[in-house]
């Protein structure tokens, strides 16, 4: 098996803001179960829970060159679920608890250099360094610029995963030159230069041997002008070494039979009766009229344009006319937070607006709702629809990225499908699909089969990890 080093700005359960952290919380463990020696490097943020800080063992410290300075870098180690985690310690950069902030270029320049420098002081040499998103995009560049002639770093392969192409890490060329101490020769159009600036995500794409992203459909979409975020030409050029591997979910955490956060546990055998009890308890908790037969649509999301909230805003009048209840959990742009709060205030029996990030309430929504709405403009993979199906909650999604790969729209003629979907990005098509889904909700024989089929889907990390392992083997030989 292989020695794999993963480098990421966030890793669950230590520190995360979204899907990147979830992936790094599950994929390394799945790869370790396959027999690989997996190590993960991340910053030692001040926000890491004390229970994990207390388990860390101090290993050593070094000084890392950064521009004209040398900065302290402490290394702490923690072993968990078959994976060894290394935490890069520097109070100035990471001690205040913020994962992302105003000086991210300097912070992650230090982090990228530190991730490479500490390797010579560990009892571990990776066969492959797997970098994630723009914050680690310069690691393959640094390997080329500084370590190509160092014997220790010979034959270390690189892979770069794009979790969301929209976030690219774009800075001035002078500032990137300064913090990474690399010459201007790296800033040509075929390398790091991007419309007069430096692009750190592009750096990872250009200098890594293999590039992956988090679903097969997204891998195709990012090669088009519509989905490529001005990098589609580069990604088309890298087609032969660009792969889409679907993210998974952790069924130990997202399992209604084991979930201590929901009102009543259930499984595929008793879902039809117990799920209604979760719905009623959720309605009571949120102050909605209690009605076990009422269709309840849930949304758990960041409230931003990407997630389709502009078409939800356009459709709000029609949603209020439907015989449904709508439950929203999440935070984001003020215009969407205020839209839901205003409509909930005007229609307290129809909408529950919970403008918070609450993992506990999210689980209760997954367990207590009938439908899960996810009309994303684009969605690299998406986890909400996968979690919803695990709880027997039927997804209504737009056919994009990972949503298209995981949700098959119900076909009343063949009986196939595990949800409902629409293709054009429009409020009209979304509303039409919701009405279509509601028509089957009232057809209990069909609905019961849909719920059980959704719960039978398997999107575990085991299969995804095998695909990553196959790519590692291709690279390492």
Instruction: Please answer whether residues 221 and 227 qualify as being in contact, where contact means their C-beta atoms are separated by less than 8 angstroms.
Output: yes
Instruction: Please answer whether residues 55 and 82 qualify as being in contact, where contact means their C-beta atoms are separated by less than 8 angstroms.
Output: no
Using CA atoms, how far apart are residues 302 and 347, in angstroms rounded to an integer? 22
What is the mean pLDDT for each group of 10 consecutive residues in the chain (477 residues)? 96 93 95 98 98 98 96 98 98 96 97 98 97 98 94 96 98 97 96 98 98 98 98 98 96 95 97 97 98 98 96 97 98 98 97 96 98 98 97 98 98 96 98 98 96 97 96 95
195 and 280 in a single domain? The answer is no
Burial 258-296 (b: 16+ CB within 10 A, else e): ebeebbbebeeeebeebbbbbbbbbbeebebeeeeebbb
In terms of DSSP bridges, do strands 394-398 and 371-374 run parallel, antiparallel, or are they unpaired? parallel
203 and 316 in a single domain? The answer is no
- Secondary structure (3-state) at 277: helix
310 and 370 in a single domain? The answer is yes
Element (H, E) at 62: strand 57-66
Structure tokens at 217: 């459909």
Tell me which long-range contacts 206-209 makes (C-beta under 8 A, separation of at least 24): 206/234, 207/140, 207/141, 207/143, 207/144, 207/158, 208/131, 208/140, 208/158, 208/159, 208/160, 209/157, 209/158, 209/159, 209/241, 209/475
User: For residue 265, what pLDDT is reported?
Assistant: 98
> How many C-beta neighbours within 10 Å does residue 426 have?
15
**DSSP letters spanning 386-438:** HHHHHTTPEEEEESSHHHHHH-PBP-TTT---SBEEE-S-SHHHHHHHHHHHH
The domain that contains 277 carries what CATH number? 3.40.50.2000
**256 occurs within a structural domain:** no
**261 occurs within a structural domain:** no
**298 occurs within a structural domain:** yes
Using CA atoms, how far apart are residues 212 and 389, in angstroms rounded to an integer? 25
Number of domains in the chain: 2
**257 occurs within a structural domain:** no
Using CA atoms, how far apart are residues 1 and 128, in angstroms rounded to an integer? 12
228 and 152 in a single domain? The answer is yes
**266 occurs within a structural domain:** no
389 and 472 in a single domain? The answer is no
**57 occurs within a structural domain:** yes
Burial bucket for residue 179 (CB in 10 Å: 0-12, 13-18, 19+)? buried
Element (H, E) at 217: helix 216-221
**68 occurs within a structural domain:** yes
User: For residue 178, what pLDDT is reported?
Assistant: 96
104 and 201 in a single domain? The answer is yes
Q: What is the pTM of this model?
A: 0.95
CA-based diameter of the chain, in Å? 70
To the nearest 10°, report the CA torsion of 422, 428, 430, 433: -70
**DSSP letters spanning 118-138:** GGGGSS---SEEEEESGGGTT
158 and 305 in a single domain? The answer is no
Domain range for residue 384?
A: 271-458
Element (H, E) at 353: strand 351-354
**259 occurs within a structural domain:** no
179 and 30 in a single domain? The answer is yes
Using CA atoms, how far apart are residues 116 and 77, in angstroms rounded to an integer? 16
183 and 277 in a single domain? The answer is no
User: For residue 148, what pLDDT is reported?
Assistant: 86
203 and 349 in a single domain? The answer is no
What single DSSP character describes residue 114?
H
Angle between the N-to-C axes of helices 173-180 and 104-117, in degrees from 0 to 180, rounded to the nearest 10: 30
280 and 395 in a single domain? The answer is yes
User: For residue 88, what pLDDT is reported?
Assistant: 98
**DSSP letters spanning 162-209:** ES-TT---EE-HHHHHHHHT--GGG-STTTTEETTEEEHHHHHHHHSS
128 and 141 in a single domain? The answer is yes
Burial 58-81 (b: 16+ CB within 10 A, else e): eeeeeebebeeeebebbbbbbeee
């Amino acid at each position: 098996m292989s020695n794999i080093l993963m480098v990421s700005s966030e890793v669950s359960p230590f520190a995360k803001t979204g899907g990147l952290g979830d992936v790094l919380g599950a994929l390394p463990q799945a790869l370790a179960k396959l027999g690989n020696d997996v190590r993960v490097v991340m910053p030692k943020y001040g926000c890491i829970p004390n229970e994990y800080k207390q388990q860390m063992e101090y290993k050593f410290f070094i000084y890392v060159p950064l521009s004209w300075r040398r900065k302290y870098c402490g290394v702490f180690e923690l072993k968990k679920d078959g994976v060894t985690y290394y935490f890069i310690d520097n109070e100035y950069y990471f001690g205040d608890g913020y994962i992302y902030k105003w000086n991210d270029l300097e912070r992650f320049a230090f982090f990228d250099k530190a991730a490479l420098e500490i390797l010579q002081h560990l009892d571990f040499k990776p066969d492959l360094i797997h970098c994630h998103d723009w914050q680690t995009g310069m690691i393959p560049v640094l390997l080329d610029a500084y370590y190509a002639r160092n014997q220790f770093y010979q034959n270390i392969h690189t892979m770069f995963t794009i979790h969301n192409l929209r976030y690219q890490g774009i800075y001035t060329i002078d500032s990137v030159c300064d913090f990474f101490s690399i010459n201007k020769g790296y800033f040509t159009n075929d390398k790091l230069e991007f419309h007069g600036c430096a692009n750190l995500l592009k750096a990872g794409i250009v200098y890594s041997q293999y590039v992956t992203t988090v679903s097969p459909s997204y891998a195709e979409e990012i090669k088009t002008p519509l989905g490529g975020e001005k990098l589609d030409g580069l990604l088309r050029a890298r087609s032969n070494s660009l792969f889409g591997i679907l993210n998974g979910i952790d069924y130990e955490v997202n399992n209604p039979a084991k979930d201590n956060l929901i009102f009543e546990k259930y499984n595929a055998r008793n879902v039809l009766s117990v799920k209604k009890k979760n719905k009623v308890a959720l309605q009571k908790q949120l102050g909605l009229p209690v009605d076990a037969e009422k269709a309840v649509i849930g949304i758990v999301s960041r409230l931003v344009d990407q997630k389709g909230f502009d078409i939800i805003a356009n459709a709000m009048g029609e949603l209020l006319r439907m015989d449904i209840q709508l439950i929203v959990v999440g935070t984001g742009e003020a215009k969407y937070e205020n839209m839901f709060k205003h409509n909930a205030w005007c229609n307290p029996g129809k909408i529950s607006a919970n403008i918070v990030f609450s993992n506990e309430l999210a689980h209760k929504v997954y367990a207590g709702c009938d439908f899960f709405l996810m009309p994303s403009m684009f969605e690299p993979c998406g986890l909400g629809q996968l979690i919803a199906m695990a709880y027997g909650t039927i997804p209504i999604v737009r056919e994009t990225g990972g949503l298209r790969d995981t949700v098959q729209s119900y076909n009343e003629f063949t009986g196939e499908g595990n949800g409902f979907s629409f293709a054009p990005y429009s409020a009209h098509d979304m509303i039409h699909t919701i009405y279509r889904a509601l028509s089957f909700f009232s057809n209990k024989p069909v609905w019961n089969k849909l719920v059980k089929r959704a719960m039978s889907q398997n999107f575990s990390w085991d299969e995804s990890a095998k695909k990553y392992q196959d790519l590692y083997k291709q690279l390492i030989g």
